[in-house]
């Protein structure tokens, strides 16, 4: 993240949020300092219980980052060489690197262009054309790889089509690992019940990177689970695979949620729903301002579909913009920060060249990479600031 102080309107202003909760947060940090229990201990146990209660799931396991949450989730499901995991090329790097780091193969499927999310129809096509179910397992007939899991990403704060993906997972005997890094607090209707993103599949992977809807004072992450067996495995894997002190049942890693982060997050979690609502309200203000601006009809700008519920909690407000790089430059010159999440889809990254994907393989992800631009959005953003953002976008296209 660039320094907010460089911009009149930063993309996120964490100082405004901190000013409101300073005393509570400092007192929580003080409690940890007084206890001198920095590794796991009561602060982490309390935060894990708080998150499990909030998410209405059986278990929550604190880990060192969202990237580690993904890695540990896949490790807990025994995913490794010979296995494939279906996911999207249009996401943050570690969604895909968590698969390759374990020697497994990402099987990429293009996105829906209206919401940038993994297209359930594309997943269905891939599975029905190339997946062969035999004795409760699905094999990719082209490669012989066992397709073990789906890894949908609730990108920018918006829930994927989990009803459709869950049906496919059941039919093809796949596990589901949800990447909820950007969608903490989002929820959707599943089988007549409201469920939180991250609790629909087998495991949900959260990030507490400071700019997330629930952000810590550094790195942090969490895996949600309903299975006691998977939760126990995760607890073991985050502690070097220890089954008892200095006895290692499996090869794990060192990836625990820091106690100081847990203390800060316990305070901030209590505000999460309010902050999500404020993000949704501000997204609605952008929707209105863009509709009034005349920019949509001219096709210069596409805005996210309006949602009336909490299935999109707007970690980012992302527009699709013609001449995106020029617009970003123009906004920056006007003191407005914006970010292109993500300018190069993952199938075209140098480090994934050996997966064998080419330019043109995922046209929707490639087109999105040229158009997307995240505008300033955070709970304390004012309507006047949002008006200034939309006016400046308009000024760029009217030049
Ligand atoms: C979609 C997505 N997945 C995974 C991660 C990784 O989280 P972390 O930065 O906590 O490792 C992020 C964070 O930026 C993310 O946005």
Residue range 265-285, pLDDT digits in tens: 999 999 999 999 999 999 999
What atom in ligand 1 is closest to the CA of residue 94? 4
Q: Is 219 in the pocket of ligand 1 (CB under 6 A)?
A: yes
Nearest to 277 by CA among 229, 312, 227: 312
Residue 175's alpha-carbon distances to 171, 256, 335, in angstroms, are 11, 24, 45
Pocket test for ligand 1, best of 207, 217, 221, 341 (most atoms within 8 A of CB): 207
Question: For residue 111, is pLDDT > 50?
Answer: yes
- The rounded distance, in Å, linking the Cα atoms of 347 and 290 is 32
What atom in ligand 1 is closest to the CA of residue 315? 16
3 state SS of 4: helix
**Residue appearing with tokens 């006691």:** 228
What count of Cα atoms within 13 Å lies in the side-chain half-sphere of residue 137?
11
Centre a 10 Å sphere on the Cβ of residue 317 and count the other Cβ atoms it contains.
Answer: 28
Q: pLDDT above 70 covers what percent of the chain?
A: 98
| pLDDT tens digits for range 143-182 | 999 999 999 999 999 999 999 999 999 999 999 999 999 9
Question: For residue 203, is pLDDT > 70?
Answer: yes
Nearest to 344 by CA among 334, 357, 330, 329: 357
| pLDDT tens digits for range 70-86 | 999 999 999 999 999 99
C-alpha 66 to ligand 1 mean position (Å): 5
What atom in ligand 1 is closest to the CA of residue 209? 10
Three-state SS sequence of 38-77? CECCHHHHHHHHHHHHHHCCCEEEEECCHHHHHHHHHHHC
Centre a 10 Å sphere on the Cβ of residue 305 and count the other Cβ atoms it contains.
Answer: 10
Strand locations in the chain (E): 59-63, 83-87, 105-108, 131-134, 137-140, 146-150, 175-179, 187-190, 193-196, 203-207, 221-225, 242-244, 247-248, 301-302, 317-321, 372-375
3 state SS of 95: helix
Q: Is 215 in the pocket of ligand 1 (CB under 6 A)?
A: no
| pLDDT tens digits for range 231-253 | 999 999 999 999 999 999 999 99
Q: Is-cis flag, bond preceding 361, omega within 30? A: no
Question: For residue 290, is pLDDT > 70?
Answer: yes
**Torsion, CA 79, CA 84, CA 85, CA 89, rounded to 10:** 130
Residue 394's alpha-carbon distances to 267, 294, 296, 301, 341, in angstroms, are 39, 8, 10, 10, 21
pLDDT at residue 6 in the model: 81
Residue 278's alpha-carbon distances to 135, 205, 282, 287, 319, in angstroms, are 49, 24, 6, 14, 19
Q: Whose CA is nearest to atom 13 of ligand 1?
A: 181
- Interhelix angle 14-35/42-55, rounded to 10 degrees, is 130
Question: For residue 51, is pLDDT > 90?
Answer: yes
Question: For residue 297, is pLDDT > 90?
Answer: no
Q: Is 91 in the pocket of ligand 1 (CB under 6 A)?
A: yes
DSSP code for 306: P
Question: For residue 366, is pLDDT > 50?
Answer: yes
Nearest to 208 by CA among 279, 278, 260, 150: 260
Average pLDDT of the residues in 15-25: 96
Question: For residue 4, is pLDDT > 60?
Answer: no
Q: Is 95 in the pocket of ligand 1 (CB under 6 A)?
A: yes
Domains of the chain: 16-269 (3.40.640.10), 272-398 (3.90.1150.10)
Q: Is 221 in the pocket of ligand 1 (CB under 6 A)?
A: yes
Where residue 5 falls among pLDDT bands split at 50, 70, 90? low
- The rounded distance, in Å, linking the Cα atoms of 237 and 234 is 5
C-alpha 32 to ligand 1 mean position (Å): 26
Question: For residue 2, is pLDDT > 60?
Answer: no
- The rounded distance, in Å, linking the Cα atoms of 92 and 76 is 21
C-alpha 206 to ligand 1 mean position (Å): 8
Q: Is 178 in the pocket of ligand 1 (CB under 6 A)?
A: no
C-alpha 90 to ligand 1 mean position (Å): 13
Least confident segment among 45-49, 65-69, 187-191: 187-191
pLDDT at residue 264 in the model: 98
What is the residue-averaged pLDDT of the chain? 96
Question: For residue 337, is pLDDT > 90?
Answer: yes
Q: Is 182 in the pocket of ligand 1 (CB under 6 A)?
A: yes
What atom in ligand 1 is closest to the CA of residue 220? 10
């Amino acid at each position: 993240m660039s320094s907010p102080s460089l911009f009149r309107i930063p993309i996120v202003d964490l100082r405004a949020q901190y000013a409101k909760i300073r005393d509570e947060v400092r007192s929580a940090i003080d409690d940890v300092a007084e206890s001198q229990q920095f590794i796991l201990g009561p602060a982490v146990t309390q935060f894990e219980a708080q998150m499990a209660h909030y998410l209405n799931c059986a278990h929550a396991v604190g880990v060192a980052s969202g990237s580690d949450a993904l890695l540990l989730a896949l490790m807990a499901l025994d995913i490794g060489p010979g296995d494939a995991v279906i996911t999207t090329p249009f996401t943050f790097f570690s969604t895909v690197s968590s698969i390759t780091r374990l020697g497994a193969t990402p099987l990429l499927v293009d996105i829906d262009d209206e919401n940038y999310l993994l297209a359930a129809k594309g997943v269905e096509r891939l599975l029905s054309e190339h997946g062969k179910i035999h004795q409760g397992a699905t094999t990719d007939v082209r490669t012989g790889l066992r397709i073990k899991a789906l890894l949908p990403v609730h990108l920018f704060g918006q829930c994927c089509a989990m009803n459709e993906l869950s049906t496919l997972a059941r039919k093809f005997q796949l596990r589901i690992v949800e990447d909820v890094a950007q969608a903490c607090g989002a929820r959707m209707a599943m089988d007549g019940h409201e469920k939180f993103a991250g609790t629909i599949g087998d495991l949900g992977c959260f990030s507490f990177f400071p700019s997330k809807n629930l952000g810590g004072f550094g790195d942090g992450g969490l895996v949600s689970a309903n299975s006691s067996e998977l939760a126990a495995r995760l607890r073991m894997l985050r502690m070097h695979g220890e089954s008892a002190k200095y006895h290692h049942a499996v090869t794990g890693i060192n990836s625990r949620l820091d106690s100081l982060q847990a203390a800060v997050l316990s305070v901030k979690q209590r505000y999460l729903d309010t902050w999500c609502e404020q993000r949704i309200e501000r997204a609605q203000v952008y929707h209105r301002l863009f509709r009034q601006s005349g920019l949509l009809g001219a096709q210069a700008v596409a805005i996210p579909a309006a949602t009336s519920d909490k299935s999109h909690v707007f970690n980012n407000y992302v527009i699709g913009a013609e001449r995106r790089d020029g617009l970003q430059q123009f906004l920056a010159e006007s003191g407005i920060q914006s970010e292109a999440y993500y300018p190069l889809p993952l199938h075209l990254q140098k480090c994934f060249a050996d997966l064998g994907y080419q330019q043109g393989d995922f046209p929707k992800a490639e087109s999105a990479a040229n158009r997307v631009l995240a505008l300033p959005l955070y709970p304390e953003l004012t309507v006047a600031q949002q008006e200034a953002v939309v006016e400046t976008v308009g000024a760029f296209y009217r030049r």
